[in-house]
Amino acid sequence: MPKLPEQQKERDFELVDKASLNRGTIDNSKPYIRSYHRKFPLKLIVVLMGLALMLVAIYSAVSRLYPMLIKKAPEAIVVPSKSSNELFNADEIKFTSDDLKEKFMKNLDLASKELDKEKSFKYLDADFEILYEMYRSTNLSEYTIQMEKMKKDMNKNYPIQYQKYLGRYQYVCSDDGCWEAHDVGKPAEIVEIRKALYKVEGINNDIKSIVVMAIDTGLLSTDKKVQMEAFTAVFKVLSEEYNRSKNVEVKNIYLKLNDYVVKNYPDIKIPDDAKIGN
The residue segments making up the domain with residue 214 are 186-274
- Say what the pLDDT of residue 50 is: 61
Same domain, 166 and 204: no
pLDDT over threshold 60, residue 41: no
Give 43 or 199, the one with higher predicted confidence.
199
Q: Any long-range contacts for 175-181 (C-beta under 8 Å, 24+ apart)?
A: 175/139, 175/140, 175/141, 175/144, 176/141, 177/140, 177/141, 177/142, 177/144, 177/145, 178/141, 178/144, 178/216, 178/220, 179/216, 179/220, 180/141, 180/145, 181/141, 181/144, 181/145, 181/147, 181/148, 181/149
Report yes or no on 140 lying in a domain: yes
The string of pLDDT tens digits covering residues 178-235 is: 766 766 667 889 888 988 888 888 888 778 878 888 888 888 888 888 899 999 999 9
Same domain, 132 and 157: yes
Residue 13 lies in a domain: yes
Output the pLDDT for position 60. Answer: 56
Do 190 and 208 have their domain in common?
A: yes
Of 180, 196, 216, the position where a domain reaches its end is: 180
Whole-number pLDDT of residue 186: 76
The predicted model scores a pTM of: 0.49
Residue 238's pLDDT band (cuts 50, 70, 90) = very high
Number of domains observed in the structure of the chain: 3
* Cβ atoms within 10 Å, residue 3: 7
Residue 172 sits in the same domain as residue 190: no
Is 171 found in the same domain as 96? yes
Q: Is residue 160 domain-shared with residue 239, that is, in the same domain?
A: no
Assigned domain for 201 exists: yes
- Both 172 and 195 in one domain: the answer is no
Question: For position 96, what pLDDT does the model report?
Answer: 94
Stretch 94-114: mean pLDDT, rounded?
Answer: 94
Residue 85 belongs to some domain of the structure: no
Helices 98-113 and 117-138 sit at what angle, rounded to 10 degrees? 160
For residue 112, is it within any domain?
A: yes
Question: Which residues are CB-neighbours of 265 under 8 A, at least 6 positions away?
Answer: 218, 227, 231
Average pLDDT of 131-156? 90
CA angle 178, 184, 188 (to 5 degrees): 100
Q: Are residues 139 and 209 in the same domain?
A: no
